[in-house]
């Protein structure tokens, strides 16, 4: 699932793992919570950073619905957030500033 590539003038893009990774969460939890959309909306309308918005949705809103899992979200400025509320999540990020990160557990 993904909110997709941000069109010009839009500050956000967020995606949630799915498919073959089969993380702890059920995809329906992410659909019910409209996770990617909610992250993008918090960034756009409340002016939150990608990290603040992703944490709000994954660590609070999704938990309130009984969901678990995580997201990889990228802000318009290239900042990357990878919060998760499950025991682990396969994740990776790389940017033009030299960040190169992969991880499985917290």
The C-alpha atoms of residue 86 and residue 106 are separated, in whole angstroms, by: 9
> Which CATH number is 12-105 given?
3.60.20.30
- Structure confidence at residue 16 as a pLDDT band (50, 70, 90): low
pTM of the full predicted structure? 0.74
The C-alpha atoms of residue 85 and residue 54 are separated, in whole angstroms, by: 11
Average pLDDT over residues 4-30: 51
Domain residue spans in the chain?
12-105
- Structure confidence at residue 30 as a pLDDT band (50, 70, 90): confident
pLDDT for the residue 56? 97
């Amino acid at each position: 699932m993904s909110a997709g590539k941000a069109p010009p003038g839009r500050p956000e893009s967020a995606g949630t793992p799915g498919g073959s990774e089969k993380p702890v969460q059920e995809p329906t939890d992410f659909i019910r919570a409209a996770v990617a959309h909610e992250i993008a909306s918090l960034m756009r309308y409340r002016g939150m950073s990608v990290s603040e918005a992703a944490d709000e949705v994954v660590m609070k809103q999704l938990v309130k619905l009984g969901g678990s899992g995580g997201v990889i979200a990228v802000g318009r400025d290239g900042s990357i957030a990878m919060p998760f509320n499950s025991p682990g999540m396969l994740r990776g990020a790389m940017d033009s500033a030299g960040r190169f990160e992969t991880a499985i557990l917290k």
